[in-house]
Amino acid sequence: MSVRRPEQGEEYWFEEGCYILEVLNDPADPDVSIARARVPAGGITDWHRLSGTTERYYILEGAGEVWVGQDEPRPVMPGDVVVIAPGAPQRIRNTGEADLVFLAICSPRFRRDQYQSG
């Protein structure tokens, strides 16, 4: 058994337009990664996609609007899960007055070389 408790100081600004805190992303556990994403009030991430990886957004706090593929934008709130197929273009916007916070759960685990902007 292992227990990981990420430190708030490990949060960093990611180029797509949100803060990321890696909760679990270990080459020894290649099947999944978990990151906490935080989009400030009024923020929106850039269009991006992950090749070869299914991503799930589990909304924890705030309110937002998410775009996936060619679908119309959909509102999201705490408790919602957004499933994003490998290679699907995606972005999320904070529509509330507080941070939009969600878990980004990837399988297989997120690797930087899978990330494509635009």
Domains of the chain as residue ranges with CATH = 17-117 (2.60.120.10)
Is 43's pLDDT higher than 90? Answer: yes
What pLDDT is stored for residue 8 in this prediction? 83
What pLDDT is stored for residue 2 in this prediction? 82
Q: What letter does residue 44 receive in the DSSP assignment?
A: B
**Percent of the chain topping pLDDT 90:** 92
Q: Mean pLDDT over all residues of the chain?
A: 96
What pLDDT is stored for residue 4 in this prediction? 84
Structure confidence at residue 1 as a pLDDT band (50, 70, 90):
confident
Q: For residue 32, with 0-12 CB atoms within 10 Å meaning exposed, 13-18 middle and 19 or more buried, which class applies?
A: middle
44-56 pLDDT tens trace: 999 999 999 999 9
Alpha-carbon dihedral of residues 106, 3, 112, 31, nearest 10 degrees? Answer: -40
Work out whether the CA dihedral 70, 44, 49, 60 comes out positive or negative: negative
**CA end-to-end distance (rounded Å), the chain:** 39
What pLDDT is stored for residue 53 in this prediction? 97
